Amino acid sequence: MNYLERRLAELQQYKPDRTTPDDLNEFWERTLREAKQRPLNDTREAVSGLSPYINYHRVVYEGYDRTPIHGWYLTPAFAGEGPYPCVVLYHGYTGSKGTPDSYSNWLLAGYAVMAIDIRGQGGETGNLLPQTHGMTRGWMNQGLLDPEQHYYRAIAIDALKALEWAARQPEVDASRIAVVGGSQGGGLSLIVSALSDLPARTIADIPNMCHMDYGISLSSGSLTEAADFVSRQPEHLETVLRTLSYFDMLNLCDRLKAPLLVSVGLKDPICMPETIFAVYNRIEAPKELIVYPYNGHFTSGDHFGKQVEFLRRT
């Protein structure tokens, strides 16, 4: 057995203890109930774009609170009137929804696209969450001392509302919606699929929000923000770990039901393979894993082709 085979064998057996808070189910039932009562207050505006083969729409809706969430809704004008299968796309940390033409690969494959900005990050969407305690750098430690006020609670509901919005569109086949994302977006794809029956398929590339009690100690990614917070205020360690546990897919993976495609890079210092395997090994839904042995925090090769093949095959 060579090193790579031994490493994979170890990861495939990795099942750390869960950190599930006693009131996890009640917390999410209440959160979803409150979210259901909030109207979308959405607008959909046709806009011009570069391609005559794409129908472009600018979308604004309200998710967790009154923050206007901005997104692109795109359909393939060359593919008839639909209804189309749809991908709801979530971007990585610090990113944005980008430009609409960057999704032409999905449109050429025959999919409608809904892509949103995550609140407060690199796009047009702001953030009206209250801040009741001091922070260190970054977004993910906003509200870090209380799961009711935490940033992850807000972005999870924002992402879920994007899915619900897409399912209501007349051009979309609501039975064929997939949630797709990488890194932060992969974590959001997982948590949305855990909280909703709408996704027919889930694609989570190098996902965050997995085994976060491990990640906060060793990751070089966004969880360093939480580590910095605890470094400055060590008396809050247990509170911080408890808050993160409400959003950790290690504690929510039993809720996943739709077929799932996950990718992992074995040299990833941000979403380390231990964090991803910890969750993947416990998932009971139909699942597939793509392992990139020598990748860091990225996928490579014809990964898009593998995504589309997964959606079409399953």
Mind giving me the DSSP string for 255-282? G--S-EEEEEETT-SSS-HHHHHHHHTT
- Residue 268 falls in the annotated catalytic set: yes
Residue 314 clears pLDDT 80, i.e. is over it: no
pTM, to two decimals: 0.97
For the purposes of burial, counting CB atoms within 10 Å of the CB of 190, is it exposed (0-12), middle (13-18) or buried (19 or more)?
buried
pLDDT digit string (tens) for 2-32?
A: 999 999 999 999 999 999 999 999 999 999 9
Average pLDDT, the chain: 97
pLDDT reported for residue 82: 87
* Contact between 97 and 91 (Cβ < 8 Å): yes
- Per-residue pLDDT tens digits for 279-300: 999 999 999 999 999 999 999 9
Give 179-210 pLDDT, tens digit per residue: 999 999 999 999 999 999 999 999 999 999 99
135 pLDDT more than 90: no
pLDDT tens, position by position, 40-79? 999 999 999 999 999 999 999 999 999 999 999 999 999 9
pLDDT at site 189: 98
Catalytic member of 183, 189, 193, 196: 183
Those residues with Cβ within 8 angstroms of residue 113's Cβ, 6 or more apart along the chain or in another chain:
72, 73, 74, 75, 86, 87, 89, 103, 106, 107
Binding-site annotation, residues: 93
pLDDT band at 137 (very low <50, low <70, confident <90, very high): confident
Q: Quote the pLDDT of residue 185.
A: 98
3-state SS assignment for residue 140: coil
Based on the residue annotation, tell me whether 297 is a catalytic residue of this protein: yes
Mean pLDDT confidence for 110-128: 97
What is d(CA 287, CA 283) in angstroms, rounded to the nearest whole number?
A: 8
* 311 vs 138, higher pLDDT: 311
Helix, strand or coil, per DSSP, at residue 108: helix
From 57, 150, 211, 297, active-site residue:
297
For 204-250, the pLDDT digits (tens) are 999 999 999 999 999 999 999 999 999 999 999 999 999 999 999 99
The rounded distance, in Å, linking the Cα atoms of 21 and 246 is: 7
Q: Write the CA distances from 294 to 61, 165, 220, 268, 273, integer angstroms.
A: 40, 38, 18, 9, 12
What CA dihedral angle connects 196, 142, 115 and 182, to 10 degrees? -80
Catalytic status, residue 228: no
Encoded tokens for 40 = 């979308």
Q: What pLDDT does residue 49 have?
A: 96
Annotated binding site for substrate: 93
Instruction: State both tokens at 123.
Output: 């796009």
Contact 57, 48 (CB under 8 A): no
Neighbours of 92 (CB within 10 A): 25
What is the SS3 assignment for 244? helix
Q: What are the structural domains, with CATH classification, of the chain?
A: 3-313 (3.40.50.1820)
Contact between residue 95 and residue 68 where contact means Cβ atoms under 8 Å apart: no
